[in-house]
Chain A
Amino acid sequence: MHITRRNFFRFMGAAGASVAVRPPSVHAWQSQAPPDPFGCLVDLTRCVGCRKCEEACAKVNDLPEPERVNCQCTIFEKDRRPDDTSYTVINRYYTGTVDVFDKPVPTYAKVQCMHCQDPACVSACIVGALTKDDTGAVHYDVSKCIGCRYCMVACPFEIPAYEYYDPITPRVMKCTFCQERISKKGGLPGCAGICPTEALTFGRRQTLLGVARKRLKENPGSYIQHIYGEKEVGGTSWMYLSSVPFEEVNLPLLPDTPSPKLSETIQHSLFSYLWSPVLLFGVLGACMARFNRGNDQKQNNADKGGA
């Protein structure tokens, strides 16, 4: 290693200067959520499992028609997940509640992307193909995507699906919140627009929270006193009301901390302005100068190519 003192200090001087000019400022983590996003309130006590939303979603998003679109019975025998051909599905759950004739009462639950306020998928995406815009929609830009599927690893709701059988140009598939439609004035998502029982209410997230609180207050007996999605992983644009425990209808128990908080905090405190790599470079350079001093001549031949 021809690390002469002069070379070394010149180099370190430059490195030091770059650190001095832009001191590593480590901000506390801040939510990037848009100020007044849209949302959608799903009231499971109102859903009758007609699957009209599945049909409408497929139509407005140019997806294939849902499996057995008119079936409202045997289709529910298996638990389904949104996949690469459907952005939303309805599942049926028997949670033990019975009606006056002792017949078990089903609960139907819609599944789609929750459009988290601080989405793990957006934070994770290597190229920023996923973004959360002002409408609240988490948008996927296929032209940037490289198909690493890190978004799928990150999502706490297990939502993004992948076109695993496309060898060259597979896409990540997930509910778009009908971004184009809701960006227009008065526009509704396909699913919320068609729901015959008003189980799906579209609106500003703030307004919906008010609606939800009102329902909880006016009918305390028919609801679990919790708005799912108000605080889960920092809040989501889609929120749920239910009369049965949320875990039993496949809405997972989640912490209130936004998923990306820890990883982003660690990344930024370590690497903002690359201060730690530059520092490490300096320390190692100093070690190298110190431990190899006087060795230069002796080591010349040995080090050639001994890298």
Chain B
Amino acid sequence: MEHKAGPMNRPLWTPGVLVMLVFMFAGALAIIARFTGGIGYVTNLTNARPWGIWVGIDVATGVALAAGGFTTAALAHIFGRHYYEPVTRPALLTAVLGYTFVVLGLLVDIGRSWAIWKPMFHWNLNSVLFEVAMCVMIYLTVLYIEFVPIVAEQFKGRVNLPGLLSKLNNLVDKVLQVADRILGKVMWIFIILGVVLSCMHQSSLGSLMLVAPTKLHPLWYTPLLPLLFLTSAIAVGYPMVVFETTLATASFRLNSEMHILAPLTRITIYLLGIYMLLKLGDMLVRGTWVYLLDGTYQTNAFIVEVLFGVMLPWAMLLCKTIRHSSKGLFTAAALVVGGVVMNRINVFIVGYRSPLSENGYFPAPSEILVTLGLIAALMFIYRVVVTYLPVLQESKEVS
């Protein structure tokens, strides 16, 4: 094989990792505070503003940015573009970690964390949130199953548990062998299932606000919300891969993967274009452009989102020189990612209008610390996994 993923075998404890640890520690303190003093003790949430950044960023944005997992799987495995296979593994890892942290974020956010299993037994088929929860739950399982072969590849035949556990070496090894063999045969089911589940809940995340027609600013409230969420998730998939691959290759000083990333973003021109057309068309058809110049912070947030998060990067990607310069490509990808982040924050936080009370909400410091701590923990685990498991492409020469 030309491309071979391998463990990084670099020292784990770099200064960057230590910074992550500091944030994780601060986040952990804030989480302890949440579970002793209550949600109100660490957040600025009120009865008028029941959802804040824990839903808007940890959950909604987390799900959107994990879209690289299903979009690359669809491209490489379903549509047979095997050329892109090297990026499927890091994207899968991002998805596994992203969704794990979505669930962790939810556990912190919902009032009765210990009751999180209840939707499995009490169904409300009218509830969009119910569908999202079911899909996320099943999809997370599917993602872990898709990840098993990577673990198997690394440890098959050389399971070496420390101390007393070493008696289990043979058994674990056998389990890995068997799992790997069976999974190899049925993996296609999980790959398709993963894409289907992703389409379902990525779009339904957008439907969440449809039940509150009077509470979301008309610039965002449209019956197309589910379609916009789906198309934006699909559009952000490859830019997110570019974004993180560039960061990872830079941080590990690997060969940049420009030969894969550049053509990958050519597809993004179409995907992002579809999203842009839908978004602008929707604004024209519903006539919501009348709000555009009213100068409120919500309108300004919308303008920034569309101009810098959709139109600018789209125009940049059109330009071949930018696509083939690693800096230009990274900037465009970062803008797309930022645009989708802004969109999710706008829909769930900025565009939300409490009908009767004062509308002000800004997250409390401890609320922000929880979010930052979770993100730091995610990055830390990513680093640990790529250090020890074959996820990233082994570099041919190290500078």
Please report A residues at the B interface, Cβ cutoff 8 Å: 1-3, 11, 81, 83-84, 120, 122-129, 144-150, 152-158, 160-170, 250, 252, 254-255, 257, 259-260, 262-264, 266-268, 271, 277, 280-281, 284-285, 287-288, 291-292, 295, 299, 301-307
Contacts and interface: CB of A to CB of B under 8 A. Distances in A.
A250 B311 CA distance: 40
Given A157-B356, A288-B78, 19 more contacts: A122-B126, A126-B130, A126-B133, A127-B119, A128-B123, A145-B112, A156-B213, A158-B356, A160-B47, A167-B34, A167-B37, A169-B112, A252-B356, A267-B204, A267-B207, A281-B193, A304-B184, A305-B180, A307-B77
Given A165-B37, A266-B223, A291-B79, A81 B47 contact: yes
Nearest to B51: A153
A155 B184 CA distance: 48
A255 B221 CA distance: 15
21 contacts: A1-B191, A81-B357, A83-B47, A124-B128, A124-B129, A125-B124, A127-B118, A149-B51, A153-B209, A154-B212, A157-B356, A162-B39, A162-B111, A164-B43, A165-B37, A165-B41, A266-B223, A267-B204, A292-B77, A304-B149, A307-B191
A307 B146 contact: yes
Contacts of B40: 164-165
Contact of B77 (A156, A257, A277, A288): A288
Given A129-B122, A307-B88, A168 B189 contact: no
Contacts of A167: 34-39, 41
Contacts, number: 239
B21 interface: no
Contacts of A83: 47
A268 B146 CA distance: 30
A83 B184 CA distance: 55
A259 B114 CA distance: 30
Contacts of B133: 126
Contacts of B127: 123-126, 128, 150
Contacts of B248: none
A145 to B, nearest CB: 6
* Among A158, A167, A262: residue with most chain B CB under 10 A: A167
Given A267-B131, A307-B73, A11 B189 contact: yes
Contacts of B214: 156, 252, 254-255, 259
B344 interface: no
B215 interface: yes
Given A124-B127, A165-B38, A267-B131, A303 B77 contact: yes
B191 A168 contact: no
* Among A127, A156, A288: residue with most chain B CB under 10 A: A127
A302 B211 CA distance: 45
A284 B192 contact: yes
B374 interface: no
B213 A255 contact: yes
* Among A150, A152, A169, A254: residue with most chain B CB under 10 A: A150
A268 B82 CA distance: 37
Interface in B23-44: 34-41, 43
Nearest to A174: B47
Contacts of B244: none
A1 B187 contact: yes
Interface stretch (B195-203, B317-325, B331-339): B195-203
A255 to B, nearest CB: 7
B80 interface: yes
Contacts of A128: 122-124, 127
* Among A11, A152, A257: residue with most chain B CB under 10 A: A152
B129 A284 contact: no
B89 interface: yes
A271 B197 CA distance: 12
Contacts of B115: 145-147
Nearest to A144: B122
A3 B89 CA distance: 20
B343 to A, nearest CB: 18
Contact of A302 (B1, B36, B114, B200): B1
B92 A307 contact: yes
A257 B212 CA distance: 11
Contacts of B50: 149, 152-153, 162
B110 interface: yes
Contacts of A307: 73, 77, 88, 92, 146-147, 149-150, 187, 190-191
Contacts of B111: 145-149, 162-163, 166, 170
Contacts of B180: 304-305
B394 interface: no
A254 B355 CA distance: 10
B85 A306 contact: yes
B48 A120 contact: no
A143 B83 CA distance: 52
Nearest to A284: B192
Contacts of A305: 149-150, 152-153, 180
Contacts of A168: 35, 112, 114
B45 interface: yes
A91 B193 CA distance: 54
Contact of A146 (B118, B188, B212): B118
A116 B21 CA distance: 49
A36 to B, nearest CB: 23
A147 B130 contact: no
Nearest to A164: B40
A119 to B, nearest CB: 10
Given A167-B37, A267-B126, A267-B131, A1 B212 contact: no
B344 to A, nearest CB: 15
Nearest to B33: A167
Interface string B44-56: 0111101100000
Nearest to A124: B211
B39 A158 contact: no
Contacts of B77: 1, 288, 292, 303, 306-307
